[in-house]
Amino acid sequence: MANGETEYYNESDLIRRAQAEDTEAFCELAKRYARRIYLLAFHYCRNSQDAEDLSQEVWLKAYQSLDGFRSEASFYTWLRRITINTFLNHQRSRSFLKQGQTTMVQLLAIDASATNIASQVASEKTLFNKVLFENVMNALAELTPSQRLIFLLRHYEGMSYEEVANAMNCSIGTAKKSVWRAIAKLRTRLDVADDAPDKGLAELATEY
Amino acid sequence: MHSCKTTRDLMTELLSDGTSPPTHELLIELRCCRECRQEFAALKDTLRLATGVIESVAPPEEYWADYHQALKQKLLNSRVPVVKMPQPSWVMRMFQTSVRVPVPVGLALVLLFGVSLFFATRAATPKQPEAPLTVRVPVEVPVPQEKIVTRIVYRDRYRPAVSRKSTQNNEQSTLARSQKNEAIPSSLVGFKPLEEIKLTVIKGGTGNDK
Protein backbone atom coordinates (compact mmCIF):
# COMPACT_ATOMS: atom_id res chain seq x y z
CA MET A 1 0.00 0.00 0.00
CA ALA A 2 1.51 3.30 -1.04
CA ASN A 3 1.88 6.03 1.52
CA GLY A 4 -0.35 8.38 -0.40
CA GLU A 5 -3.32 6.01 -0.32
CA THR A 6 -3.50 5.88 3.44
CA GLU A 7 -2.85 9.52 4.15
CA TYR A 8 -6.60 10.08 4.01
CA TYR A 9 -7.24 7.98 7.07
CA ASN A 10 -6.88 9.57 10.41
CA GLU A 11 -5.61 7.64 13.39
CA SER A 12 -9.03 6.85 14.82
CA ASP A 13 -10.16 5.29 11.55
CA LEU A 14 -7.01 3.24 11.35
CA ILE A 15 -7.41 2.05 14.94
CA ARG A 16 -11.05 1.11 14.32
CA ARG A 17 -10.11 -0.82 11.20
CA ALA A 18 -7.18 -2.48 12.94
CA GLN A 19 -9.49 -3.54 15.75
CA ALA A 20 -11.61 -5.19 13.09
CA GLU A 21 -8.52 -7.26 12.21
CA ASP A 22 -7.49 -5.15 9.24
CA THR A 23 -3.76 -5.87 9.09
CA GLU A 24 -3.15 -3.18 6.47
CA ALA A 25 -4.56 -0.53 8.77
CA PHE A 26 -2.42 -1.73 11.62
CA CYS A 27 0.68 -1.70 9.39
CA GLU A 28 -0.12 1.90 8.55
CA LEU A 29 -0.25 2.73 12.25
CA ALA A 30 3.06 0.95 12.68
CA LYS A 31 4.62 3.04 9.92
CA ARG A 32 3.72 6.20 11.78
CA TYR A 33 5.43 5.24 15.02
CA ALA A 34 7.95 2.58 14.01
CA ARG A 35 10.95 4.91 14.08
CA ARG A 36 10.28 6.17 17.59
CA ILE A 37 9.76 2.68 18.94
CA TYR A 38 12.81 1.39 17.11
CA LEU A 39 15.07 4.16 18.41
CA LEU A 40 13.87 3.66 21.93
CA ALA A 41 14.61 -0.05 21.61
CA PHE A 42 17.97 0.67 19.98
CA HIS A 43 19.17 2.94 22.76
CA TYR A 44 17.79 0.61 25.34
CA CYS A 45 19.51 -2.57 24.14
CA ARG A 46 22.38 -0.89 22.16
CA ASN A 47 22.20 -3.43 19.36
CA SER A 48 20.40 -2.96 16.04
CA GLN A 49 19.39 -6.61 15.66
CA ASP A 50 17.96 -6.79 19.17
CA ALA A 51 16.31 -3.42 18.62
CA GLU A 52 14.54 -4.78 15.54
CA ASP A 53 13.37 -7.91 17.33
CA LEU A 54 12.27 -5.97 20.38
CA SER A 55 10.39 -3.30 18.42
CA GLN A 56 8.63 -5.89 16.30
CA GLU A 57 7.63 -7.76 19.43
CA VAL A 58 6.11 -4.53 20.68
CA TRP A 59 4.03 -4.23 17.51
CA LEU A 60 2.96 -7.82 17.72
CA LYS A 61 1.80 -7.37 21.30
CA ALA A 62 0.02 -4.17 20.38
CA TYR A 63 -1.77 -5.94 17.54
CA GLN A 64 -2.86 -8.79 19.79
CA SER A 65 -4.14 -6.51 22.51
CA LEU A 66 -5.63 -3.81 20.32
CA ASP A 67 -9.15 -4.77 21.40
CA GLY A 68 -8.23 -3.49 24.84
CA PHE A 69 -7.46 -0.01 23.56
CA ARG A 70 -10.29 2.27 24.69
CA SER A 71 -9.10 5.64 23.36
CA GLU A 72 -8.84 6.97 26.92
CA ALA A 73 -5.25 7.98 26.15
CA SER A 74 -3.59 8.63 22.82
CA PHE A 75 -2.59 5.64 20.74
CA TYR A 76 1.10 6.43 21.19
CA THR A 77 0.78 6.66 24.98
CA TRP A 78 -0.86 3.24 24.97
CA LEU A 79 1.80 1.90 22.63
CA ARG A 80 4.58 3.34 24.75
CA ARG A 81 3.17 1.58 27.77
CA ILE A 82 3.37 -1.74 25.89
CA THR A 83 6.88 -0.85 24.78
CA ILE A 84 8.11 -0.20 28.30
CA ASN A 85 6.50 -3.40 29.60
CA THR A 86 8.08 -5.38 26.80
CA PHE A 87 11.47 -3.85 27.57
CA LEU A 88 11.15 -4.62 31.25
CA ASN A 89 10.14 -8.21 30.51
CA HIS A 90 13.17 -8.56 28.29
CA GLN A 91 15.36 -7.06 30.96
CA ARG A 92 14.43 -9.99 33.17
CA SER A 93 14.74 -12.71 30.58
CA ARG A 94 17.09 -11.79 27.77
CA SER A 95 20.86 -11.80 27.71
CA PHE A 96 21.45 -8.94 25.29
CA LEU A 97 21.68 -6.51 28.17
CA LYS A 98 24.69 -8.34 29.51
CA GLN A 99 26.65 -7.76 26.32
CA GLY A 100 29.56 -5.39 26.33
CA GLN A 101 29.38 -1.87 25.10
CA THR A 102 28.49 -1.42 21.47
CA THR A 103 31.13 0.66 19.85
CA MET A 104 30.60 3.09 17.04
CA VAL A 105 32.36 0.77 14.61
CA GLN A 106 30.04 -2.11 15.51
CA LEU A 107 26.97 0.05 15.19
CA LEU A 108 27.98 1.36 11.82
CA ALA A 109 28.87 -2.12 10.61
CA ILE A 110 25.49 -3.48 11.70
CA ASP A 111 23.47 -0.62 10.41
CA ALA A 112 25.50 -0.24 7.22
CA SER A 113 26.40 3.36 7.81
CA ALA A 114 22.83 4.07 8.67
CA THR A 115 23.17 6.95 11.02
CA ASN A 116 22.18 10.35 9.88
CA ILE A 117 25.21 11.77 11.62
CA ALA A 118 27.57 10.10 9.22
CA SER A 119 25.66 10.96 6.10
CA GLN A 120 24.51 14.49 6.73
CA VAL A 121 27.53 16.33 8.00
CA ALA A 122 30.58 17.52 6.17
CA SER A 123 33.68 15.37 6.15
CA GLU A 124 35.71 17.51 8.57
CA LYS A 125 32.97 17.24 11.11
CA THR A 126 32.44 13.54 10.62
CA LEU A 127 35.23 12.45 12.91
CA PHE A 128 34.09 14.79 15.66
CA ASN A 129 30.55 13.51 15.35
CA LYS A 130 31.69 9.91 15.42
CA VAL A 131 33.63 10.53 18.60
CA LEU A 132 30.72 12.41 20.05
CA PHE A 133 28.34 9.61 19.13
CA GLU A 134 30.59 7.01 20.62
CA ASN A 135 31.00 8.99 23.81
CA VAL A 136 27.26 9.42 24.21
CA MET A 137 26.66 5.74 23.59
CA ASN A 138 29.40 4.76 26.00
CA ALA A 139 28.09 7.11 28.65
CA LEU A 140 24.63 5.58 28.27
CA ALA A 141 26.14 2.11 28.30
CA GLU A 142 27.61 2.78 31.72
CA LEU A 143 24.11 3.13 33.14
CA THR A 144 21.97 0.21 34.17
CA PRO A 145 19.20 -0.71 31.68
CA SER A 146 16.58 0.81 33.98
CA GLN A 147 18.52 4.06 34.44
CA ARG A 148 19.07 4.27 30.69
CA LEU A 149 15.42 3.69 29.97
CA ILE A 150 14.41 6.33 32.51
CA PHE A 151 16.80 8.85 30.94
CA LEU A 152 15.45 8.06 27.48
CA LEU A 153 11.86 8.36 28.61
CA ARG A 154 12.60 11.71 30.24
CA HIS A 155 14.82 13.32 27.61
CA TYR A 156 13.93 11.49 24.40
CA GLU A 157 10.24 10.85 24.99
CA GLY A 158 9.69 14.02 27.01
CA MET A 159 7.71 12.30 29.73
CA SER A 160 7.30 13.95 33.12
CA TYR A 161 8.91 12.38 36.18
CA GLU A 162 5.52 11.30 37.43
CA GLU A 163 4.75 9.53 34.15
CA VAL A 164 8.18 7.91 34.13
CA ALA A 165 7.77 6.74 37.71
CA ASN A 166 4.34 5.27 36.92
CA ALA A 167 5.59 3.56 33.79
CA MET A 168 8.69 2.14 35.45
CA ASN A 169 6.89 1.30 38.68
CA CYS A 170 9.39 3.22 40.79
CA SER A 171 9.38 6.36 42.90
CA ILE A 172 9.79 9.85 41.46
CA GLY A 173 12.99 10.17 43.48
CA THR A 174 14.44 7.08 41.83
CA ALA A 175 13.55 8.43 38.41
CA LYS A 176 15.21 11.77 39.18
CA LYS A 177 18.30 10.07 40.53
CA SER A 178 18.63 7.99 37.37
CA VAL A 179 18.47 11.10 35.21
CA TRP A 180 21.02 12.94 37.38
CA ARG A 181 23.34 9.98 37.11
CA ALA A 182 22.97 9.88 33.35
CA ILE A 183 23.69 13.60 33.03
CA ALA A 184 26.74 13.28 35.25
CA LYS A 185 28.08 10.38 33.16
CA LEU A 186 27.45 12.26 29.95
CA ARG A 187 29.17 15.34 31.38
CA THR A 188 32.26 13.32 32.29
CA ARG A 189 32.36 11.47 28.99
CA LEU A 190 31.70 14.37 26.67
CA ASP A 191 33.76 16.90 28.63
CA VAL A 192 32.15 19.82 26.89
CA ALA A 193 33.83 23.17 27.55
CA ASP A 194 31.81 26.29 27.02
CA ASP A 195 33.68 29.39 25.97
CA ALA A 196 30.79 31.73 26.61
CA PRO A 197 29.44 30.85 30.03
CA ASP A 198 27.69 34.19 30.47
CA LYS A 199 25.49 33.31 27.53
CA GLY A 200 24.14 30.38 29.49
CA LEU A 201 23.19 32.63 32.38
CA ALA A 202 21.48 35.04 30.04
CA GLU A 203 19.58 32.12 28.49
CA LEU A 204 18.56 30.97 31.93
CA ALA A 205 17.28 34.43 32.77
CA THR A 206 15.17 34.56 29.61
CA GLU A 207 13.92 30.96 29.85
CA TYR A 208 12.34 31.33 33.27
CA MET B 1 29.70 30.65 51.69
CA HIS B 2 29.92 29.57 48.10
CA SER B 3 30.32 25.88 47.35
CA CYS B 4 30.83 24.83 43.74
CA LYS B 5 29.77 21.26 44.56
CA THR B 6 26.47 22.37 46.03
CA THR B 7 25.87 24.68 43.09
CA ARG B 8 26.64 21.84 40.69
CA ASP B 9 24.05 19.63 42.39
CA LEU B 10 21.50 22.43 42.07
CA MET B 11 22.37 22.85 38.39
CA THR B 12 22.03 19.14 37.68
CA GLU B 13 18.71 19.11 39.47
CA LEU B 14 17.50 22.07 37.45
CA LEU B 15 18.55 20.57 34.14
CA SER B 16 17.19 17.13 34.87
CA ASP B 17 13.91 18.52 36.08
CA GLY B 18 13.40 20.90 33.20
CA THR B 19 10.09 22.28 34.46
CA SER B 20 10.70 24.06 37.74
CA PRO B 21 12.41 27.49 37.61
CA PRO B 22 15.93 27.95 39.02
CA THR B 23 16.08 28.75 42.69
CA HIS B 24 17.12 32.19 43.87
CA GLU B 25 20.09 30.60 45.57
CA LEU B 26 21.28 29.05 42.30
CA LEU B 27 20.98 32.33 40.39
CA ILE B 28 23.07 34.13 43.01
CA GLU B 29 25.71 31.40 42.95
CA LEU B 30 25.88 31.51 39.16
CA ARG B 31 26.28 35.28 39.16
CA CYS B 32 29.10 35.29 41.64
CA CYS B 33 31.11 32.27 40.43
CA ARG B 34 32.53 32.14 36.91
CA GLU B 35 33.47 28.46 37.21
CA CYS B 36 29.93 27.55 38.13
CA ARG B 37 28.65 29.53 35.15
CA GLN B 38 31.00 27.61 32.90
CA GLU B 39 29.90 24.33 34.41
CA PHE B 40 26.27 25.20 33.97
CA ALA B 41 26.79 26.12 30.33
CA ALA B 42 28.76 22.91 29.75
CA LEU B 43 26.01 20.81 31.35
CA LYS B 44 23.40 22.42 29.14
CA ASP B 45 25.49 21.75 26.05
CA THR B 46 26.08 18.17 27.13
CA LEU B 47 22.40 17.54 27.47
CA ARG B 48 21.68 19.21 24.13
CA LEU B 49 24.37 17.20 22.35
CA ALA B 50 23.34 13.92 23.92
CA THR B 51 19.69 14.41 23.03
CA GLY B 52 20.70 15.37 19.49
CA VAL B 53 22.82 12.25 19.11
CA ILE B 54 20.08 10.01 20.50
CA GLU B 55 17.54 11.44 18.08
CA SER B 56 19.86 11.39 15.10
CA VAL B 57 20.47 7.66 15.11
CA ALA B 58 18.18 6.18 12.49
CA PRO B 59 18.41 3.44 9.94
CA PRO B 60 18.19 4.49 6.24
CA GLU B 61 14.89 4.62 4.38
CA GLU B 62 15.47 1.34 2.56
CA TYR B 63 15.74 -0.42 5.91
CA TRP B 64 12.13 0.35 6.75
CA ALA B 65 10.67 -1.41 3.72
CA ASP B 66 12.12 -4.72 4.89
CA TYR B 67 11.22 -3.93 8.45
CA HIS B 68 7.54 -3.38 7.67
CA GLN B 69 7.43 -6.37 5.36
CA ALA B 70 8.76 -8.58 8.13
CA LEU B 71 6.34 -7.05 10.60
CA LYS B 72 3.36 -7.62 8.30
CA GLN B 73 4.37 -11.24 7.89
CA LYS B 74 4.59 -11.66 11.65
CA LEU B 75 1.18 -10.08 12.13
CA LEU B 76 -0.39 -12.42 9.57
CA ASN B 77 1.27 -15.42 11.17
CA SER B 78 0.09 -14.37 14.59
CA ARG B 79 -3.54 -14.68 13.61
CA VAL B 80 -4.92 -17.76 15.26
CA PRO B 81 -7.57 -19.53 13.16
CA VAL B 82 -10.84 -19.48 15.01
CA VAL B 83 -12.18 -22.99 15.59
CA LYS B 84 -15.88 -23.07 16.25
CA MET B 85 -16.67 -25.12 19.26
CA PRO B 86 -20.04 -26.87 19.53
CA GLN B 87 -22.50 -24.84 21.54
CA PRO B 88 -22.82 -26.37 25.02
CA SER B 89 -26.26 -27.24 26.31
CA TRP B 90 -27.94 -25.02 28.92
CA VAL B 91 -27.19 -27.57 31.61
CA MET B 92 -23.48 -27.48 30.76
CA ARG B 93 -23.56 -23.71 30.54
CA MET B 94 -25.14 -23.55 33.96
CA PHE B 95 -22.28 -25.60 35.40
CA GLN B 96 -19.64 -23.71 33.50
CA THR B 97 -20.92 -20.26 34.31
CA SER B 98 -18.82 -18.44 36.81
CA VAL B 99 -19.98 -15.56 38.94
CA ARG B 100 -17.62 -12.97 40.31
CA VAL B 101 -18.22 -12.49 44.00
CA PRO B 102 -16.34 -10.01 46.18
CA VAL B 103 -14.02 -11.68 48.67
CA PRO B 104 -15.88 -10.51 51.84
CA VAL B 105 -19.19 -11.78 50.47
CA GLY B 106 -17.56 -15.04 49.50
CA LEU B 107 -16.07 -15.47 52.96
CA ALA B 108 -19.42 -14.69 54.57
CA LEU B 109 -21.13 -17.29 52.39
CA VAL B 110 -18.53 -19.91 53.24
CA LEU B 111 -18.90 -19.10 56.95
CA LEU B 112 -22.68 -19.30 56.70
CA PHE B 113 -22.43 -22.63 54.92
CA GLY B 114 -20.07 -23.94 57.58
CA VAL B 115 -22.34 -22.88 60.45
CA SER B 116 -25.45 -24.34 58.84
CA LEU B 117 -23.57 -27.57 58.13
CA PHE B 118 -22.50 -27.75 61.77
CA PHE B 119 -26.04 -27.32 63.05
CA ALA B 120 -27.42 -29.75 60.48
CA THR B 121 -24.99 -32.47 61.58
CA ARG B 122 -25.82 -31.77 65.21
CA ALA B 123 -29.53 -32.11 64.54
CA ALA B 124 -29.02 -35.38 62.67
CA THR B 125 -27.22 -37.19 65.54
CA PRO B 126 -29.54 -39.74 67.45
CA LYS B 127 -30.84 -38.54 70.74
CA GLN B 128 -29.57 -40.18 73.94
CA PRO B 129 -32.24 -41.78 76.30
CA GLU B 130 -33.40 -39.16 78.63
CA ALA B 131 -32.39 -39.37 82.26
CA PRO B 132 -35.22 -39.62 84.88
CA LEU B 133 -36.63 -36.26 85.55
CA THR B 134 -35.68 -34.87 88.90
CA VAL B 135 -38.02 -32.33 90.42
CA ARG B 136 -36.95 -30.51 93.47
CA VAL B 137 -39.78 -29.47 95.74
CA PRO B 138 -39.03 -27.77 99.06
CA VAL B 139 -40.64 -29.65 101.93
CA GLU B 140 -41.08 -28.13 105.36
CA VAL B 141 -40.15 -30.43 108.16
CA PRO B 142 -41.71 -29.55 111.57
CA VAL B 143 -39.04 -29.00 114.15
CA PRO B 144 -40.18 -29.38 117.81
CA GLN B 145 -39.64 -26.13 119.50
CA GLU B 146 -38.24 -25.93 122.92
CA LYS B 147 -40.90 -25.40 125.51
CA ILE B 148 -40.09 -23.08 128.35
CA VAL B 149 -41.69 -24.05 131.56
CA THR B 150 -41.61 -21.73 134.49
CA ARG B 151 -42.00 -23.40 137.81
CA ILE B 152 -42.53 -21.71 141.07
CA VAL B 153 -40.94 -23.46 144.02
CA TYR B 154 -41.94 -22.54 147.46
CA ARG B 155 -39.50 -23.26 150.18
CA ASP B 156 -40.24 -23.50 153.79
CA ARG B 157 -38.60 -20.59 155.39
CA TYR B 158 -38.45 -22.06 158.81
CA ARG B 159 -37.16 -25.41 157.82
CA PRO B 160 -34.24 -26.40 159.95
CA ALA B 161 -30.92 -25.84 158.41
CA VAL B 162 -29.40 -28.89 156.95
CA SER B 163 -25.90 -29.52 156.16
CA ARG B 164 -24.47 -28.20 152.95
CA LYS B 165 -24.01 -31.68 151.70
CA SER B 166 -27.54 -32.74 152.27
CA THR B 167 -28.70 -29.52 150.68
CA GLN B 168 -26.65 -30.28 147.63
CA ASN B 169 -28.07 -33.77 147.49
CA ASN B 170 -31.47 -32.39 147.86
CA GLU B 171 -30.87 -29.91 145.05
CA GLN B 172 -29.53 -32.66 142.84
CA SER B 173 -32.54 -34.80 143.57
CA THR B 174 -34.78 -31.86 142.88
CA LEU B 175 -32.98 -31.26 139.56
CA ALA B 176 -33.23 -34.90 138.69
CA ARG B 177 -36.84 -34.83 139.54
CA SER B 178 -37.45 -31.78 137.49
CA GLN B 179 -35.56 -33.30 134.57
CA LYS B 180 -37.63 -36.41 134.99
CA ASN B 181 -40.74 -34.31 135.03
CA GLU B 182 -39.59 -32.47 131.94
CA ALA B 183 -39.46 -35.71 130.08
CA ILE B 184 -43.12 -36.12 130.83
CA PRO B 185 -45.11 -33.28 129.41
CA SER B 186 -46.52 -31.51 132.39
CA SER B 187 -48.91 -28.77 132.91
CA LEU B 188 -49.44 -26.25 135.67
CA VAL B 189 -53.15 -26.30 135.23
CA GLY B 190 -54.79 -27.14 138.50
CA PHE B 191 -51.67 -26.48 140.49
CA LYS B 192 -52.36 -24.95 143.85
CA PRO B 193 -49.70 -23.87 146.25
CA LEU B 194 -49.92 -25.58 149.64
CA GLU B 195 -48.89 -22.72 151.78
CA GLU B 196 -49.21 -19.05 151.50
CA ILE B 197 -46.70 -16.69 152.96
CA LYS B 198 -47.88 -13.52 154.34
CA LEU B 199 -45.34 -10.81 154.49
CA THR B 200 -45.91 -7.87 156.73
CA VAL B 201 -43.49 -5.03 156.46
CA ILE B 202 -43.38 -2.95 159.66
CA LYS B 203 -42.06 0.42 159.07
CA GLY B 204 -39.14 1.33 161.26
CA GLY B 205 -38.47 -2.19 162.28
CA THR B 206 -35.26 -4.09 161.99
CA GLY B 207 -34.42 -6.80 159.56
CA ASN B 208 -35.13 -9.47 162.31
CA ASP B 209 -38.74 -8.41 162.68
CA LYS B 210 -39.93 -10.08 159.51
Q: Give the gap in angstroms from C-alpha A73 to the nearest C-alpha of chain B.
A: 23
Neighbouring C-beta atoms of residue B47, cutoff 10 Å = 22
Measured between beta carbons, which residues in chain B are less than 8 angstroms from residue A46? none
In this prediction the ipTM stands at 0.73
CB pairs under 8 A between A and B: 142
Q: Which residues of B touch A208 (CB under 8 A)?
A: 21-22
Taking the C-alpha atoms of residue A40 and residue A111, their distance in angstroms, rounded to an integer, is: 16
Rounded to whole angstroms, the Cα distance separating B137 from A20 reads: 91
What chain A holds in terms of domains, given with CATH numbers, is 1-126 (1.10.1740.10), 128-208 (1.10.10.10)
Across the interface, do B50 and A136 touch by the CB < 8 Å criterion?
A: yes
For residue range B69-83, list pLDDT tens digits in order. Answer: 999 888 888 876 655
Chain A CB contacts of B47 below 8 Å: 155, 183, 186
Helices B34-56 and A23-45 cross at an angle (nearest 10°) of 140
- Kindly determine whether residue A197 and residue B68, on different chains, have CB atoms separated by under 8 Å: no
Chain A residues near residue B79 by CB distance under 8 angstroms: 21
SS percent in chain A: helix, strand, coil, step 5: 75, 0, 25
Amino acid at A28: E
Choose among B34, B46, B74: nearest Cβ to A60.
B74
Spatial neighbors of B30 by CB under 8 A, at least 6 apart, are A201, A204, B7, B36, B37, B40
Higher pLDDT, B191 or A3: B191
Distance from CA of B85 to the nearest CA of A (A): 21
* pLDDT tens string A124-157: 566 777 777 888 888 888 888 888 889 889 888 8
Q: Which of A106, A107, A190 to mutate to test the interface with B (most CBs of B within 10 A)?
A: A190
* Entry pTM: 0.57
How close, in Å, is residue A92 to chain B by CA atoms?
A: 24
Question: Residue A56: its pLDDT value, please?
Answer: 92
Q: How many CB atoms lie within 10 A of CB B206?
A: 7
Highest mean pLDDT among A90-99, B14-23, B56-65, B181-190: B56-65
Beta carbons of A199 and B54 less than 8 Å apart: no
Helices (H), chain A: 3-6, 11-19, 23-45, 48-64, 75-93, 104-111, 116-120, 123-141, 145-155, 161-168, 172-190, 197-207
Among positive and negative, which fits the CA dihedral A89, A108, B61, A118? positive
Task: Output phi, psi for A112, to 5 deg.
Answer: 55, 60
